[in-house]
Structure 1
């Protein structure tokens, strides 16, 4: 439920002021009410006398400077029952029982974003090309994140909590154009690109990190880590150094940067972990002791390119979207090379087989679930997620009104359309845009046995009377 109001003021078409105030309530929160506000101002400089006398009106058809500041609320995609502790059914000794399945938080409330935006809009060629350039900074407090609990607490799950703060800042650039326009043909185009920098600035007192497990609980992966000084959900993995040509063992690097090799099955009395340089026993490599903050999962650049072409009664729309500058943990890759009873990808045929072999695939040892990253998240399963997608494609034909005679039909358009028809990417998985953690802000860039976005085809009629 919301109450809101807005006041706009426009003086002579050149000075603009706006203010808004609202109160929102959301039933899934423990503290449901939030009050938010914003204010903005704009100046259309082309309406000033000096603009025409200086000759700038011959170049720019419009030129507006604008700025705004406001406070808004966000719920961060929480579930409907995040504030409640819930129970499920179970069997205990064959007897029907209840089990404590999730812990809620009655104090959960709105994330708050305080956003500053400064920009300008201008048009050239009598408005056929219009540009928009903006700088923004968004400070977010009361960040809603799922915080893992110590096993000793008896809490069965992570708890959604308002903790810490972070910011997003960057630039947005947008251009709208009509490159071609005639009696029978027109081309309208829009291109936009945004650069964003995200950084966690603080967590709750006494909380040094937030580890977000991968959505597939069977894997036990904890590849996303959020700490101050890094973007949210940063990939947290152990670095590796290929395969030892002499032994066929995977090479790992410990926290000190020293090379350690792993042998899955060893004779009694020998260690699975040994230093590469001298063969001495080494402490076991673990994520907690040896992982490093490796790569960001939040894209640095994103945007789209949308084009609509019209020729007489035909129309064609082509929309491309893209994301650049981010990385994905392809957890499925670990499973495809796991040496237990699962099928493997065919590239393991190039595994190490004899001393001197140079390969990225270790010696095959039955039940080895460590060397490929199934038990310890490894850098070998981290890939760039950059992509360009053919997001939407539609072709339509509008039947002329004269074809319907004296009927009440004034418009009939026949069309075919498709979504997610193609993708250009070097990411080896099905879709770099998909996360096993859904919309979780702290668990993006984790792909463990996830399917791609659906490819959809549509045929239809649009009828008007």
Structure 2
């Protein structure tokens, strides 16, 4: 779906102006607050007294029926408190207890549900409904090296449970399920079955170093989100500000994502089995509208070969089908719990030659030994992904002559392969006449030993050991009939590559948790952390093979090896090491006054010995106003807390080669006599003063919960400054052997705010409607570079022609701004007219670089995520929406394919319609800058849960659901997709020449079985 009519979009765009959005938010809050609190609360006891509820004598018989919201609970424990008199419920949730005294208190419990204690009184028959135990997950937040009750947190943290993630939208990793769920987190994913996701939290934190948050999986820093499957995730906690992340030191400059996977629980020795499966079909929509073959011939753009081909459609795999299956087993007692899972996924992209097959498994366990003195938690995770990542070039699909067929029945391959035409070639044959096999493997064994020092209550020590082995194998072969081989007069090309990365983690820390008299609470942690990374690789290539079918499996048979033209290389990565000592202390007084402080002293092997160590620290405080005496009479406020934090983190997420003494041949080297000559010597200038990039950030926040926890949320305002930015700077020769050196020479700042609100709009016995909304705003600015009048140009545009760059970074520039010529109109011949630096109108041929100016910005003024969950009896409906408001996109598709007379390549239909007046050479100007504001429905899920306990004792429940993913995008942007990459400082353009892939809608059917 796409709304492009100006009259319709005018209404939408006006509604999306920020001030109107504020009005809409206010109305939304009014709706939350105006709905009356319902009389029936699913977490409250439901007790039915028998009709003959008169006072009974001691030793009477009592009947109890135990249910949950879905029906009878089989196997619930019902006992008379303080005695051994008890039993479990039958298939109807029914149990009879005899010899029950008048003053008895009945205890009702079931694994995974909140236990209840009910005074018997004069009742002889009771009906008790238990609620699922989600309270603990809601109230406990995972933080650095520990957990904490949400009410005690003094930093900016967003927490999600597994139920908060979208289902049925899984792409190449779990990021698709996170879209719009976390305020301030921007994710960019191409949409291919093999693409990775780029994360950016609270704006850009570096120029040349890493900008992605640190991922910590089950307490182990440096995790890869692509190694996870959604069904194994228990919760996700995002540490946004420096006061929360400083405990992770140099790797926390861009925030921290803490992921906790599912672990075993006490099931009284019973085995619980869960099976889930999904089946997905993908659909392409909103492809660029190019000239058809007959239209191309009518306009006499190029040679008419007689066919009528939609090249874009030829690249689409209309028969795609994806599926995934997940099986989990859980069993436990009080002393031992085990969770194990196995999965298989086949993910076919919308494009030909884009697919992957994954399988793997996980074992998480927890054992208590020696009277609970020792806890051992081993985790083992394995995943393998077989990839075909050789999908056709969709850029070329836009260019190709639509009168030329990709197929030739007379050719032995079935494809029409033509040669030596750089901008027109059979892109289908290029993909189909090659073989691409990639094999990714992750193996991660980890173990945690926890020693509970029982003579000192609250004191424990944890020792963590983790190892990760990741391997990548790449096999590639071009058939002798491939265009590249025919043009070079070769008979096939084979390439093999292998790389291995090993990560070693060792951490040990002591924890002390103590509640003192008078309302004093202390939660303290101190320990060490060690991380090491090693890697190695090799590859080989050869050409000219006598037999095509063997492909890459006899690579030495190619004649280029005997001719001395084959290639082979190998390498070993520079070892990276991090070592640190850290401590954190959280103190609270009467749950009203909260303090936190942390420090991390860390050293990195990436820096010179004299500049290797640094300190990263934070302090934060909170005041729970709702616990003050003067708030006792304000019953509608359940919790109100203000907090403030300040922290310093570092960034060493860059190549270890920056500080390595790299040697090589064929390098200019100054000889003793002062002359320069080729010699064997240093290939880069090592800077012994190179230091950490350092981020300093403060955060002011407010948390609230109102109306019996029906309405809850938070607001955060933050400001950060990054100093000592690392750039490659030009240096003189001599004295330097090379012309550049890495130096700390810049600074930048960013600021913004985030607002989250959620609650139960309607809560009745049969119908519940919950909603959550998050809003975020961020701006960034370059404060200094390495000298006066210095700048960097970027966001370059490719040939044909010489368009130039669309971005410039210099002192005082705003991150996200475009650097363009200003459009002034068209001349009589359809050529571009531009404004020069003095504001005068000039022909485009007279422009200079100095005539460019900053205009527009690709950073949205407001980013919105909005989720709804509606449940009626056994039906549930989930709707997830997302919006970016008031930002600019540079429409390169219109620029390159919307002008007539650009050679014999195809063009948009609009080139002979909307843009028919343009005849001249394209220009990088604001004519192609458009408002990208959009509202996207990410997913709609409809589900039905069938409780099975009353039908069979083997199956607890069956859930069926259907999901439509990427339902539609409502926008006035005229290009293919307004959701372009806005991470980094060179974003904002719809880059058809790089990482270009169709927009994909998905249809998924899902099944979940609980045994």
Would you say same fold, with TM above 0.5? yes
> Does the Cα contact within 8 Å between 1:148 and 1:211 map onto a contact in 2?
no
Q: Which residue of 2 aligns with 1:385?
A: 932
Quick one: distance in 2 between partners of 1:79 and 1:215?
27
Give the gaps of 5 or more residues in structure 1. 88-101, 263-272, 274-283, 352-358
Secondary structure of 2:911's counterpart equals helix
Does the 8 Å contact 2:958/2:1010 carry over to 1? Answer: yes
Structure 2: give runs of 5+ residues left out of the alignment: 1-530, 532-577, 665-682
Give the deviation of 1:223 after TM superposition: 0.6
Question: Which residue matches 2:640?
Answer: 63
- Secondary structure at 2:893's aligned position in 1? helix
Match of 1:174 among 756, 781, 800: 756
Deviation at 1:232, TM superposition (A): 1.6
> Separation in 1 of the partners of 2:685 and 2:768?
56
**Counterpart pick for 2:595 among 17, 32, 46:** 17
Partner of 2:988: 445
Distance 1:167 1:456 in 2: 39
Distance 1:454 1:154 in 2: 51
State the Cα distance separating 1:235 from its structure 2 match. 0.3
Residues of 2 paired with 1:456 and 1:5: CA distance?
Answer: 47
Change in CA separation of 1:458 and 1:133 when aligned onto 2, cut-off 3 Å: same
Equivalence for 1:236: 819
Judged with a 3 Å threshold, the aligned counterparts in structure 2 of structure 1 residues 397 and 182 are, in CA distance, closer, same or farther, namely: same
8 A Cα contact 1:238 1:292, kept in partner: yes
Q: In structure 2, what is the equivalent of residue 421 of structure 1?
A: 967
- Per-residue CA deviations over 1:110-136 (Å, capped at 9, x if unaligned) read 543211111222232222112322221
Deviation for aligned residue 1:37: 2.4
Q: Shift of residue 32 of structure 1?
A: 8.1
Matches within 5 A, 1:286-365: 286=848, 288-338=849-899, 339-341=901-903, 342-350=905-913, 361-362=917-918, 364=919
The whole-number CA distance in structure 2 between the counterparts of 1:73 and 1:216 is 36
Q: CA RMSD in A?
A: 3.7
Q: Is the 8 A contact 2:797 2:805 kept in 1?
A: no
Deviations 1:20-60 (A, max 9, x none): 334678898899876432221111112111222xx4x1342
Aligned mates of 1:208, 1:162 — CA distance in 2: 15
Structure 1 position 68, deviation (Å): 0.8
Q: CA deviation at 1:380?
A: 1.0
Instruction: Name 2:10's counterpart in structure 1.
Output: none
Q: Tell me how far apart the structure 1 counterparts of residues 659 and 1001 of structure 2 sit (CA, whole Å).
A: 35
Task: For 1:330 and 1:154, locate their aligned partners in 2 and report how far apart those are by CA, in whole Å.
Answer: 43
Report the equivalent of 2:810.
227
SS at match of 2:906: coil
- Residue 625 of structure 2 corresponds to 45
| Cα displacement string for residues 144-200 of structure 1 (whole angstroms, at most 9, x for unaligned residues) | 5688999xx9999x9987541221112222211111111222111111212223222
**Relative to structure 1, is the Cα distance of residues 170 and 255 closer, same or farther in structure 2, using a 3 angstrom cutoff?**
same
* In 2, Cα distance between equivalents of 1:243 and 1:113: 47
Work out whether residues 616 and 648 of structure 2, in 8 Å CA contact, stay in contact via their aligned partners in 1: yes
What is the aligned counterpart of 1:6 among 576, 579, 584? 584
5 Å matches for 1:127-276?
127-143=709-725, 162-206=744-788, 208-214=790-796, 221-244=804-827, 246-262=828-844, 273=845
Aligned residues: 402
Decide whether the 8 Å contact of 1:242 with 1:360 is kept in 2: no
* Structure with bigger gyration radius: 2
- Provide closer, same or farther for how the CA distance between residues 226 and 314 of structure 1 changes in structure 2, counting only shifts above 3 A: same
**Could you tell me whether the CA contact under 8 Å between 1:236 and 1:291 is conserved in 2?**
yes
Q: 1:397 to 1:24 in 2, by over 3 A?
A: farther
Q: With structure 2 as the length reference, what TM-score do the two structures score?
A: 0.36
The 1-side partners of 2:628 and 2:807 are apart by: 53
CA 1:401 to 1:203, structure 2 compared with 1: closer, same or farther past 3 Å? farther
Q: Per the alignment, do residues 310 and 257 of structure 1 end up closer, same or farther by CA in structure 2, a change over 3 Å counting? A: same
Using a 3 Å threshold, how does the CA distance of structure 1 residues 48 and 166 change in structure 2: closer, same or farther? same
C-alpha deviation, 1:225, in angstroms: 1.3
Inter-CA distance 70–20: structure 2 relative to 1 (3 Å threshold) = same
| Aligned residue in 2 for 1:269 | none
**Counterparts in 2 of 1:161 and 1:182: CA distance versus 1, 3 Å:** farther
> How big is the shift at 1:314?
2.2
Is the Cα–Cα contact under 8 Å of residues 42 and 65 in structure 1 kept in the other structure? Answer: yes
Give the TM-score of the pair, scaled to structure 1: 0.74
The equivalent residue for 1:395 is 942
Distance across 2 between alignment mates of 1:412 and 1:294: 55
Deviation at 1:79, TM superposition (A): 7.3
Give the 3-state SS of the residue equivalent to 2:805 in structure 1. Answer: coil
The DSSP-based 3-state class of the residue aligned with 2:949 is helix
Per-residue deviation, residues 379-431 of structure 1 (Å, max 9, x unmatched): 11111121221123322222314166222x43443333343221111122222
Q: 3-state SS of the aligned residue for 1:333?
A: helix
Residue 796 of structure 2: SS of its match in structure 1? coil
State how far apart, in whole Å, the 1-side matches of 2:942 and 2:741 are. Answer: 47
Partner SS for 1:131: strand
Q: 1:266 maps to which residue?
A: none
Displacement after TM superposition at 1:322 (Å) = 1.4
Say whether the 8 Å CA contact 1:61–1:127 is kept in structure 2: yes
Counterpart in the other structure of 1:126: 708
Q: Secondary structure at the match of 2:811?
A: coil
Alpha carbons 2:685, 2:738 under 8 Å: kept: no
1:431–1:451 contact (8 Å) kept in structure 2: no
Change (3 A) 1:215 1:21: farther
Question: Quick one: distance in 2 between partners of 1:397 and 1:128?
Answer: 25
Q: Secondary structure at the match of 1:402?
A: coil
Counterparts in 2 of 1:28 and 1:64: CA distance versus 1, 3 Å: same
Partner residue in 2 for 1:406: 953
Displacement, 1:261?
2.5
Do the aligned partners of 1:81 and 1:104 also contact (CA within 8 Å) in 2? no
- Counterpart CA distance in 2 for 1:82 and 1:128 is 53
> Which range is displaced more, 410-419 or 17-26?
17-26
3-state DSSP of counterpart to 1:334 = helix
Matches of 1:27 and 1:434 in 2, distance apart?
36
Contact 1:216 1:448 in 2 (8 A): no
- In structure 2, the CA distance between the partners of 1:298 and 1:24, relative to structure 1 (3 Å rule), is farther
User: Shift of residue 453 of structure 1?
Assistant: 5.7
